[in-house]
């Protein structure tokens, strides 16, 4: 039973909780879920299920990952209307045509992508397992909304020493788009950086990372088999099960100093 919004991203709830002591009534929070309508040059492009934070970054990052824009100068104007849950984007290119092919992704809430192509990542970046695990610990310290309500994923962009950008969303793929969008607006380069996430890495997330020229992607969970294959082909070091003092490298372990077989 919702009673009031908490910080605009979660709602108060009352629920029944079971433990060894039996049933009791408890209070807590649940993350909000929005249907965000995205219009480009007055054409409906996509509806994104998301957490209502950093909506401008989310849309910019999505447009970038889909190849609709390549830089901020491709955007003439963007209007975010939270009251109507929509974003209106006008491109400098008046000839923009809606993509004809849409692929439903495995992202939470059922994401969509208009491209299944990936870009090769060429990087000489080398990191140590200790640096990766240290950054994962920093990520876990940044989970503000997760600690409030649970039910969301957190992702960060890191240079291997410091966390540069933090995003949270009900959709793990949305967190990557939010990182890209924030980096576009703030002028932060994603090339040769690390992405760390609490969510399982799937194929569409790998393609987004490749578009960002990120050579290392890290998760607390096991990636999908397709994501591993794509990471191998595109030159990305894909790391999973990064917990405590352990991690598993599924592709290009040489970037971590692991001897190749």
Residue spans of beta strands (DSSP E) within 20-84: 22-31, 34-40, 43-50, 75-81
Report the candidate in 26, 91, 80, 71 with the shortest Cα–Cα distance to residue 53. 80
Distances (CA, A) of 53 to 9, 91, 134: 7, 23, 26
Residues 149 and 174: their CA atoms lie apart, in Å, by 18
Judge whether 183 counts as a catalytic residue.
Answer: no
Of the candidates 140, 105, 127, the residue with the CA atom closest to the CA atom of residue 215: 127
In a 10 Å sphere around its CB, with 0-12 CB exposed, 13-18 middle and 19+ buried, how is residue 171 labelled? buried
Catalytic choice (81, 108, 183, 258): 108
Query: Among all residues, which ones are annotated catalytic?
Result: 108
């Amino acid at each position: 039973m919702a009673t009031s919004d908490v910080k605009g991203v979660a709602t108060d709830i009352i629920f029944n909780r079971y433990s060894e002591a039996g049933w009791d009534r408890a209070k807590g929070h649940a993350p909000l879920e929005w249907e965000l309508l995205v219009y480009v040059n007055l054409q409906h492009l996509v509806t994104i299920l998301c957490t209502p934070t950093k909506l401008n970054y989310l849309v910019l990052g999505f447009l970038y990952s889909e190849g609709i824009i390549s830089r901020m100068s491709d955007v003439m104007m963007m209007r975010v209307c939270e009251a109507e849950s929509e974003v209106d984007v006008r491109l400098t290119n008046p000839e923009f045509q809606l993509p004809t092919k849409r692929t439903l992704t495995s992202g939470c809430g059922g994401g969509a992508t208009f491209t299944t192509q990936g870009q090769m990542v060429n990087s000489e970046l080398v990191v140590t397992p200790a640096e990766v695990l240290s950054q994962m610990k920093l990520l876990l310290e940044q989970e503000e909304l997760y600690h409030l309500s649970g039910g969301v994923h957190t992702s960060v962009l890191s240079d291997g020493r410091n966390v540069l950008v933090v995003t949270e969303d009900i959709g793990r793929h949305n967190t990557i788009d939010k990182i890209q969008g924030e980096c576009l607006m703030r002028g932060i380069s994603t090339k040769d950086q690390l992405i760390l996430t609490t969510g399982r890495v799937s194929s569409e997330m790998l393609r987004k990372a490749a578009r960002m020229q990120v050579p290392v992607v890290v998760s607390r969970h096991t990636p999908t088999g397709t994501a591993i294959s794509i990471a191998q082909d595109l030159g990305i070091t894909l790391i999973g099960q990064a917990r405590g003092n352990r991690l598993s490298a599924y592709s290009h372990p040489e970037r971590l100093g692991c001897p190749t077989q």
